[in-house]
Structure 1
Amino acid sequence: MALAELRIRNGPLIMGVVNVTPDSFSDGGRFFLHASAIEQAKSLIEAGADVLDIGGESTRPGAVPVSAADEIARVVPVIEGLRRDWNGPISIDTFKAQVARAAVAAGANIWNDIRALEGEGSLEAAADLNCDIILMHMKGDPQTMQSEPRYDDVVAEVEAYLLARAEGAMAAGVARERIWLDPGIGFGKTLDHNLSLIRATGRLAAHGFPLLMAASRKRFIAALEEREGAGPSTADERIGGTIAVHLKAIELGARMVRVHDVQAMKQALRIWGALR
């Protein structure tokens, strides 16, 4: 099922995060084993996830790169295991064309790319795979992206980049209705950059491409709390901030949110929708 069809039927979508990595910032490798990752994914489905996002390489600031072969070995068995019992949308979170091809062959039908198809062979792979594509903005790379990122106008620069990447994808053969955009909260941005982009969700969504907002448990939430006088928080203490950001983004036009805490987000969306 294409994401566009699911969006029309269900309204705002919830993408549940499954990190098959030993060093994720949010869950510290708790789901690194295939069986644990599959169990976690199934629990997210039961909690109300519309989409599952499977990742085999951490992209937190300072993360150590892994080979395509290692990444494939991590994610493909999980995707295959899920496909035995579930036919909903599965996203592969990777910037490597080789990994995307292997994941789609195993049953994934969405490619979530933090490098917006800039990797070697990625445009060609996206056209060949004929799957939904999420194009994200990142300044630098995970090893360096949080080292004093600078912009003259963060919203204008992210907007121009994402539109250019979307045009490049379409020129390569990706159908327009399969393209999603993601401003890349926390990927080469300061606290103020992140806040500016969240406030600009409506502007970014106005170009006709559906927008994904992915702010779950990110460090900028703690930084904002500290600016307001609160003490430091760990990743799993940022659920309230995550919900606040995502509800605001949905109010402004985001069509999907990527979260670790699906049940809490589902409840918040249900109540928010009833109050509206």
Structure 2
Amino acid sequence: MHNLVIAHRGEVWEEFKKVGADAAGSAIMAPKALHRLVKIYDLAPRQANIIKQEMLGKGGDAAVTRGTVDSSVEKTDVLLMGTEKQYRAVIKKLRMQPFKLAALAEQLKQTLDNLNGRQPRELICRDKKLTLGERTLVMGILNVTPDSFSDGGSYDNIDAAIACARRLVDEGADIIDLGGESTHPGYEPISVEEELDRVIPVLQVLVREINLPVSVDTTKASVARRALEVGAHIINDQWSLRADRNMASVVAEYQVPLVMMHNQRGTEYRDLMGDMVRFFRESIAMAEQAGIVRENIIIDPGIGFGKTVQHNLEALRRLRELDGLGLPVLLGTSRKSLVGKTLDLPTDQRVEGTGATVALGIANGADIVRVHDVKEMVRVVRMTDAVVRG
């Protein structure tokens, strides 16, 4: 005998097929095979007590703060434990309860649905298309900045930048990510005019001569608008619509894919992944309110931004906890201080460390990896995909 590690319902069905189980019986048994831990934050005792009672009644359980049962605490987090079948039964009961528990039931249902895996689909990037979910996509980094931490000054003229882009294409990139403002620790912000002067001349050539989607890495709505006017296909916002409140309306107007990265000032967290999910839920709500369709949103855990080295390692280790949002995940670890500080290496010696983080990221659910060393990372991606995606 041996234990099976199962992530989603599709893998359960495969195991049923292997033992020759009846299809109708498999449909009944599948929800019993998936055990989930779901954490809910900041509930009132009366909410938590009802949830615990319902979970116990269906054979599951819920851990709450001591003092919840007699309401001697104001709030409690709740850790739910149960099979998918038990959760589905509890959701039906919670829909009939007061105290905003019906809304919570809908969010719980959406989370469970999302945990059953993201199906391959097309991402429409204006006149270009990308297929998400069949294989890991590689985003090649093209910085046209004099001060980027890894390649600052290397491609800050048009000819050098275009030559770099062509090399990235030849090496197997699926997307080119063009950035005009460095965001390394201690960077000096630049004006809109300066960023436009760096990005737009290169972008104008790229969209004519490079047959790949071009992403523009910016937090400024006016830069995004001009880039989209010129022909950019994707906007990559390191502040998830929060640095410039006009960004959401610009992206919505052009209906292009949007990468939203987790970021914050400082490195204090109550619960790293819980805080990250809350951040994304808020930014997703902002995006949808502006008219950005959910199918166009990609999330990025923001490795190296507002996090210590230990936070970055933890985020990589727990990356699957973003699956509950049901959105494709972009991972950017290339040559970052996470690798440099862990291995005590300068930026030009971080290829192997980057490869390890890319492989682990894919194993933990990343759909796109953003890298400098495209040739080497394409090999890592293909090997990892062979194991993970089959």
- Tell whether the 8 Å contact from 1:51 to 1:89 is kept in structure 2 after alignment: yes
> Following superposition of structure 1 onto structure 2, how do residues 159-170 of structure 1 map, counting pairs within 5 Å?
159-170=277-288
Distance in 1, Cα, partners of 2:365 & 2:384: 14
Cα drift, residue 270 of structure 1: 2.0
Counterpart code for 1:193: H
Cα drift, residue 205 of structure 1: 2.7
Q: Which entry has the higher C-alpha Rg, 1 or 2?
A: 2
Query: Which position in structure 2 is the counterpart of 1:152?
Result: 270
Query: Which position in structure 2 is the counterpart of 1:237?
Result: 349
Distance in 2, Cα, partners of 1:120 & 1:183: 21
Cα drift, residue 10 of structure 1: 5.2
Distance in 1, Cα, partners of 2:324 & 2:165: 32
Compute the TM-score of the two structures, normalised by the length of structure 1.
0.91
Q: Deviations over 1:80-132 (max 9, x none)?
A: 11122223211000000000011111111100001101113112112112110
What is the alpha-carbon root mean square deviation over aligned residues? Answer: 1.6
Q: Structure 1 stretch 201-210 or stretch 51-60: which is displaced more?
A: 201-210
> Following superposition of structure 1 onto structure 2, how do residues 1-276 of structure 1 map, counting pairs within 5 Å?
2=124, 5-8=129-132, 11-118=135-242, 119-140=244-265, 145=266, 149-225=267-343, 232-275=344-387
Counterpart code for 1:249: G
Q: Secondary structure at the match of 2:306?
A: coil
Identity %: 40
Distance in 2, Cα, partners of 1:92 & 1:260: 15
Distance in 1, Cα, partners of 2:152 & 2:210: 26
Cα drift, residue 36 of structure 1: 0.7
Q: Secondary structure at the match of 2:164?
A: helix
**Unaligned ranges ≥5, structure 1:** 226-231
Q: Secondary structure at the match of 2:370?
A: strand
Distance in 2, Cα, partners of 1:209 & 1:5: 17
Distance in 2, Cα, partners of 1:121 & 1:273: 38
**Unaligned ranges ≥5, structure 2:** 1-122
Compute the TM-score of the two structures, normalised by the length of structure 2.
0.65
Counterpart code for 1:87: N
Cα drift, residue 50 of structure 1: 0.2
- Tell whether the 8 Å contact from 2:358 to 2:381 is kept in structure 1 after alignment: no
What is the total number of aligned residue pairs between the two structures? 263
Q: Which has the higher contact order (CA 8 A, sep 6+)?
A: 1
